[in-house]
Amino acid sequence: MNDKSFFWRLVRYYGWYTVGFIALLVVLAILEQEGLPRTWIGYLFMFATVVLYAGIGIMSRTSDVSEYYVAGRRVPGLFNGMATAADWISAATFISLAGGLYLQGFDGLAYIIGWTGGYCLVALLIAPYLRKFGQYTIPDFLAARYRGHSSGNPVRVLAVIATVLISFIYVVAQIYGVGLITSRFTGVDFSVGIFLGLASILVCSFLGGMRAITWTQVAQYIIILFAYLIPVVLLSTQHTHSPLAQVSYGTVLTQITDIEKKFDADPKEIQVRAMFKAKADAYDVRLRNLPTSWDQGRIETQQYLEKLKRNNGSLIEIRAASRALSNYPKTPEEAERTWQQEKAGYLARAEPPIPQATPFAAASPEASDIKRNNFLALVFCLMLGTAALPHILMRYYTTPSVQETRKSVFWTLFFILLIYLTVPALAVLVKYYIYTSLVGSDYAHLPEWVSYWANIDKAHPLVSITDINHDGIVQLSEIVLDGDIIVLATPEIAKLPYYISGLVAAGGLAAALSTADGLLLTISNALSHDVYYKMIDPQASTAKRVTVSKLLLLVVALLAAYTASLKPGDILSMVGAAFSLAASALFPVLALGVFWKRGNQEGAMAAIVVGFATCVYYMLHTYPALGGSASGQWFHIAPMAAGVFGVPAGLLALIVVSLLTPPPDPRALKLLDQIRAP
């Protein structure tokens, strides 16, 4: 079958698929009107979409090396663009990006600007040259480009280590998102939800590798698009009388600005903020009196529990006191870290709401400058991290030609743009609902969605509303919303029909699954192809190579699911760390590998090690959850943007070490001339 016939055949298949999905939405809407229980609607959405992905995975199963690793290199640019967009629109974009804009206001735009700009770098600097190289993995390319006089394996090993670590952090964030969605919409425990989602991932990637993942991701993108656009269209029609939220939400933004000014001056809000400030001051006193305060606090907590038991306190009070005692810091050092975080949390809640439309809002010009610098640093890391993410770059091996690769990057940007233009509108419309419906409501009659989301994780509630001043009315400062639930809870917050909730959950699940599939395949391919086949057993048969890759994929998936069940952090933080690491370790060797002939094997090894080590050191040194302290920050740059130091360090190491050592191998230069030829 020629390329043109294959393309139109795909158009017919996915056209019918889209019609079928719309029909499913209509049927579920009718069933809800007829009284079908909400739980069943959630089950139907989850079951139908997972069965669909499994069906594509089974139909696309293969043991052919080219099909398994690069989908036979016959994916047209349009469909590769859709698959790459689905691979890209991860749990971070679908679930957390609007939440970031909701919580951070203007500053949250750093993600959209950085990620979009990163694709321009992919199109200009990396993707066409990788396709011309025409192998299977990123370590493959680096080993060939930085080949020494013996082999390229030293660079290959370092590139594999970097690829595996970066992709692993990223995939943990995706599986965390899968667990969140599955838990909320099926009612199972969070940890169980993670492993249920994992089964869905494995059915696809385990059987068919890149071929199955590609065709599943195209189907997933269509669901993602419907799931993101339909709720926003409905919200926008309600509040602006226009379905084009992307151009009409400005009127709502103006109203939000007016409401924020009222909150600033509201006596009740000021009272609540003062109470949080008092709590922060109390922690400050305890921190200044360490270690005495730690010992005294431990004794008081023990005495309080004993007093409750002696006086027949209620079971709830005794359980809460027992939990407080078991969670009490075990050492003065742990107390210092924990109390610093508590103090910072209360200080943040003592501040007025962040203005949605004001760039770098802060109490002083110096603080505003720090915010602006962090904004620019994050944009820098996200752009260069995007251009160096192995699971995204691998997708450009699957097109039939370099020309189709360029088309594919264009279509990727177009399909991502459809979502990214909608994200700010969604954040603003949801914030308007919270400001006008939840704030000022009766504390005794909170909406049902508050208890639903609060009960998913009782140790670290995703929603918390505490009547701290005991006036029975909800103030804005009393509400804590986790950014990861803003999109998923939007239909419930806005009181939309429940089938819309199911649709959004299906979209979030599709986004997380598509990216997790791509990441797991990247890790297993790096280990099976670059380590096992290229270095351990070059004579391995094709069937054995694919089998090894599948087994490694299974092991990595289980390990990632276990790590996600420990809840190591929120989705955006984990993804931000992965981007900084990718930018620091891989961007210098990829970009200069194409555009600087003098770069050699020694320089590449130095760049990967120095860039990666600088980034990791800064994160460990400054991130409190990893044992660091904010006081160790350089130029007040947050640990998530550590790549702003790792990238220059890597570039400098590559240039200096390459110039101090012999020129690259002639075979590497010949390869470079070949991939740079038009």
Tens digits of residue pLDDT in 398-422: 888 888 888 888 898 899 888 988 9
**More confident call, 453 vs 85:** 85
Apex CA 81: angle with CA 80 and CA 84, to 5°?
Answer: 80
**% of the chain at pLDDT higher than 90:** 18
- Read off the pLDDT of each residue in 458-474 and give the average, rounded to a whole number: 82
Q: Which two tokens stand for residue 480?
A: 């804590």
Q: Residue 372 in contact with residue 120, Cβ under 8 Å?
A: no
Indicate the DSSP class of residue 528: I
Residue 646 has a pLDDT of 94
185 pLDDT more than 70? no
| Separation in Å, CA 536 to CA 135, 152, 529, 530, 533 | 19, 14, 10, 9, 6
What CA–CA distance (Å, rounded) separates 45 from 508? 12
Give the whole-angstrom CA distance, residue 99 versus residue 486: 5
Q: Is the pLDDT score of 654 beyond 90? A: yes
Please list, residue by residue across 598-610, b when 16 or more beta carbons sit within 10 angstroms of its beta carbon and e when fewer do.
Answer: ebbbbbbbbbbbb
Phi first, then psi, for residue 28 (nearest 5°) are -70, -35
Residue 19 has pLDDT above 90, yes or no: yes
Q: How many helices (H) and strands (E) does the chain have?
A: 29, 2
Candidates 612, 70, 135; CA nearest to 388 is: 612
Give every CB contact of residue 330 below 8 A, 6+ residues apart in sequence. Answer: none
Domain layout of the chain by residue ranges? 248-370+446-479
pTM over 0.75: yes
Would you give the end-to-end CA distance of the chain in angstroms? 28
Question: Which of 601, 618, 612 has the alpha carbon at shortest distance from 650?
Answer: 612
Q: Which of 676, 631, 643, 499 is nearest to 26 (CA)?
A: 499
Q: Can you read off the two tokens belonging to residue 566? A: 């420990």
Q: Taking residues 64-74, report their average pLDDT.
A: 81
* pLDDT for the residue 655: 94
Show the tokens assigned to 39: 């739980």
pLDDT in tens, 262-320: 988 889 999 999 999 999 998 888 888 888 888 888 888 888 888 888 877 777 778 87
Two tokens, residue 589: 């060797």
What are the beta bridge partners of residue 464? 480
With a cut of 70, say whether residue 569 has pLDDT above it: no
Tokens, residue 31: 């069933």
Question: Measured at the alpha carbon of residue 77, what is the angle toward residues 74 and 80, in degrees to the nearest 5?
Answer: 75
Name the band, by pLDDT with cuts 50, 70 and 90, for residue 370.
very high
Per-position DSSP letters for 583-641, written without gaps between them: HHHHHHHHHHHHH-TT--HHHHHHHHHHHHHHHHHHHHHH-GGGT--GGG-STT--GGG
Give residues with Cβ within 8 angstroms of 499, minimum separation 6.
25, 28, 29, 31, 32, 41, 45
Alpha carbon distances (Å) from 278 to 282, 285, 328: 6, 11, 21
Token duo for residue 555: 């092991």
Nearest to 138 by CA among 388, 485, 340: 388
The pLDDT tens digits for 4-15 are: 888 888 899 999
Mean pLDDT of the chain: 85
Q: Using CA atoms, how far apart are residues 491 and 512, in angstroms rounded to an integer?
A: 19
Residue 199 DSSP SS3: helix
Helix (H, G, I), strand (E, B) or coil at 329: coil
- Whether pLDDT at 659 is above 90: yes
Q: CA–CA separation, 139 vs 156, rounded Å? A: 5
Compute the average pLDDT of residues 227-237. 90
Helix (H) / strand (E) element for 98: namely helix 98-104
Name the percent of the chain in helix, strand, coil, to the closest 5. 80, 0, 20
Q: Give one word for 627, left, alpha or beta, with left for phi > 0 and alpha for psi -120 to 50.
A: left
SS3 473: strand
Angle, vertex CA 278, rays to CA 272 and CA 281, nearest 5: 145
User: What's the distance, CA 375 to chain centroid?
Assistant: 18
Q: What confidence category does residue 647 fall into, taking pLDDT thresholds of 50, 70 and 90?
A: very high
CA distance 338 to 345: 11
